A and B are shown apart, each in its own frame.
Chain A
Amino acid sequence: MLYWDMPYAIHNSVQNETDQVCFSHSHPSTPLSLGNSFIYFILWKCFKENPHGLWMSATGIKQCAEVANQKIINSTTLLELNHQAMTDKHKHNDDKKLQPILVFGPPLVFPTFEAQNLQNYHFLKAYSSQLPLHQFLAKQNVDPSSIQVILCNPHQKLSVDVIPLLPSLSLIVTTSAGTDHIDLTECSHRNIQVVSIAGEHAEDIADMTVGLLIDVIWKISATNRHVRKWGPSIPLNFSFGYKLEGKRVGIVGLGKIGVEVGKRLEAFGCKIMYNGRSQKPLVTYPFYSNVLELASNSDILVISCSLNEQTRHMVNREVMLALGKEGIIVNVGRGALIDEKELVRCLMEGKIGGAGLDVYENEPNIPKELIQLDNVVLSPHAASLTSNRLNSVCERVTERLEAFFSSKLPNILVLDD
């Protein structure tokens, strides 16, 4: 255990001949910071061999601290101490001392994460309140300047008042690949780190993309719906559907997800092409420098790129007309990548063949015209909602936050072992 109040701590540890130094909350009004305590730990370690040396003057201790400051310590030991310090907090269930985490969204993983970390953090559930942030925090009796971390997801956009209100904010963790719900420019000005922990979801999203595509082609969802209404005797000899072999698939955004989609559809015999900000040197798929040209040369368009000012409404009427009335669009990126009003119009007018959509411009609302159509398959932003992914995300969020809170160490060089 490491004591906050160091001289007492050194004395005690030596007395107990323990190899560890204890943490405890001594005087609420003068808690030493975690960082300083580590310096003192080094100090203690240096003097372990020579207990008599402890009885030094205050100046002497200060000098040793400075020496210790420059000493290189083993990083494993540091992390062990971090962990020990964190778990020791279990013994002191004082809410005020728990690190506050401001939560927006909330992330799907939050209930699990909260349950696992009740003793470690004070969760401020901003998502559950209609109040503006400063009022919400006032009501919780929380000083905005005590907040260093936000945990969020795209469900709830961080409004403009959030970042300016939190002077100590240094980390935003979002459990998504997309970051368009966060003002990245503001974060960059304020030196706030934005970390995206989406888990390995590229495969899940690629799987969903192919699933939506085949569903649109074969009308699986529509038919499955109708079979249950017609039953028990079903009409046979439907003649929709066709093979994917030979079809040209244009992938907009050949990132991690796009690559997985390409790989899967290649096995079906599709011809893969793509468009992106720039051509990728090691990729053999034909590259088209703009979406319009890609659409003109595709039977199927897959949208799997990120949303930003350049890509907003990138798939517009012109692109959809170029894709053609047999063409199919599958969108697993962001709703606003497609001009949604135009998409609905094109579908209603039969200007494109069909669409598989996992994302929309104004989730969870969808254009009501889509509900009547049998040539669209609608999914509620579920492309990465698998139980596998959730567990891995929870673990990684836990690790990241632990690392953040235990890494506030001034001037200590850490060696990787």
Chain B
Amino acid sequence: MESIGVLLVAQVIPYLEQELEKRYKLFRVWEYPQLPIEHANSIRAVVGNASAGANAALIEALPKLEIVSSFSVGVDMIDLDTCKEKGIRVTNTPDVLTEEVADLSIGLMLALLRRICQCDRYVRAGNWKKGDFKLTTKFSGKTVGIIGLGRIGEAVAKRAEGFNCPICYYSRTEKRDSKYKYYPNVVELASNCDILVVACPLTKETHHIINREVINALGPKGYLINIGRGKHVDEAELVSALQDGRLGGAGLDVFENEPVVPEELFGLENVVLLPHVGSGTIETRHAMADLVLGNLEAHFLGKPLLTPLV
């Protein structure tokens, strides 16, 4: 196994890096501004993450590439079409963070509607001595609209139902056996829910799926929760809507140009901002690493892949 070349194209947790080093001949892309041909010809696998994968150029440069194993659930940084064309396998790390992300999305909804962050700040600043905190908006019973009823979307729905929230959704195709109400487009979904959650994969079609029209449909009493990808949302439009009061509020764990967060959002009370903590747990990342290693091992032993996408 030592002679199998693996190219690491992004920073991953130390555990994964060490294991890859042990099992394969590991090349770290940041150590090779120009990858020498003999190395390029020995690389049979690429390991990336949510922010760096394998585009067409890289795939072309690695003639022996057989598999791309991503340390993330999202694979928008991998050119899936080129991989399909060339018979290159692609794996990701689904299911290890479904519950975490779903928990966090409910946490964001509660923090937003019940102004928990403001409550906390109010007490710490000593303002409670001057008077009671203000009234906030009840969460239980609010209609939750979900874009993308995949694993994460379903998990969000199940939790929200515990709060007596009616659930509705939009996805590319209606899910016939779902008990939730389906809307054929996002604008209609936004018009008919109080809280809109983005829980779909990022593709060409879903880029900026949250645009001005959707934001306006959600309205001044509506809330947006983004636990998908920053590029799902037209961030400039979002910022302007929040500043104008056209949108009730937003809970964001992802941003279009991470690590940059629009400063205009900092002064707003009706916004909760988190630095992409949704996949951040130690347990999760360990499990994700094990999936990457497991998929690579299975591939090179000729066994069925654990979590193939392509």
Contacts and interface: CB of A to CB of B under 8 A. Distances in A.
B99 A269 contact: yes
A385 B280 contact: no
A363 B288 CA distance: 45
Nearest to A242: B281
B58 interface: no
A402 interface: no
A239 B285 contact: yes
B162 A242 contact: no
Interface stretch (B171-179, B240-248, B253-261): B253-261
B163 A207 contact: yes
B135 A379 contact: no
A241 B116 contact: no
A207 B138 contact: yes
Interface stretch (A131-139, A259-267, A276-284): A259-267
Interface string B118-152: 01111110001100111111111100000000000
A217 B280 CA distance: 12
A53 interface: no
Nearest to B272: A224
B108 interface: yes
B260 A380 contact: no
B266 interface: yes
Nearest to A213: B107
A378 B158 CA distance: 28
A263 B258 CA distance: 37
Nearest to B266: A228
B117 A225 contact: yes
Interface residues of A, number: 59
Contacts of B263: 231-232
A241 B97 CA distance: 11
Contacts of B104: 214, 218, 241
Nearest to B141: A203
Interface string A380-398: 1110011111100000000
Given A234-B261, A236-B259, A239-B282, A382 B136 contact: yes
A263 B281 contact: no
Interface in B227-283: 258-263, 266, 272-277, 280-283
Contacts of B274: 218, 220, 223-224, 227
A227 B132 CA distance: 26
Nearest to B137: A386
B7 to A, nearest CB: 21
A221 B121 CA distance: 8
B123 to A, nearest CB: 4
A215 B107 CA distance: 7
B293 interface: no
Contacts of A214: 103-104, 106-107, 110-111
B140 A227 contact: no
A380 B110 contact: no
Nearest to B106: A214
B281 A241 contact: yes
Contacts of B137: 386-387
A210 interface: yes
**Which of A204, A267, A377 neighbours the largest number of chain B CB atoms within 10 Å of its CB?**
A267
Contacts of A380: 119, 122-123, 128, 132-133
**Which of B120, B121, B162, B280 neighbours the largest number of chain A CB atoms within 10 Å of its CB?**
B120
A240 B117 contact: no
Interface in A205-258: 206-208, 210-212, 214-215, 217-218, 220-221, 223-225, 227-228, 231-245
Nearest to B160: A267
Contacts of B108: 220
A231 B132 contact: no
B163 A264 contact: yes
Nearest to B121: A225
Given A211-B110, A224-B117, A233 B259 contact: yes
Contacts of B79: none
A268 interface: yes
B178 to A, nearest CB: 17
Contacts of B133: 379-382, 385
Given A206-B140, A381-B133, 10 more contacts: A207-B163, A211-B139, A214-B104, A215-B120, A221-B117, A227-B274, A239-B281, A380-B133, A386-B114, A389-B138
6 closest A-B pairs by CB = A267-B162, A211-B110, A214-B107, A364-B128, A243-B99, A378-B123
22 contacts: A207-B138, A215-B110, A220-B108, A220-B116, A221-B121, A224-B117, A231-B263, A238-B277, A238-B280, A239-B282, A241-B280, A244-B103, A269-B99, A364-B128, A377-B120, A378-B119, A379-B133, A380-B133, A382-B132, A386-B136, A387-B136, A387-B138
Interface of B: 99-100, 103-104, 106-108, 110-111, 114, 116-117, 119-124, 128-129, 132-141, 158-159, 161-164, 258-263, 266, 272-277, 280-283, 285
Interface of A: 108, 203-204, 206-208, 210-212, 214-215, 217-218, 220-221, 223-225, 227-228, 231-245, 263-269, 363-366, 371, 377-382, 385-390
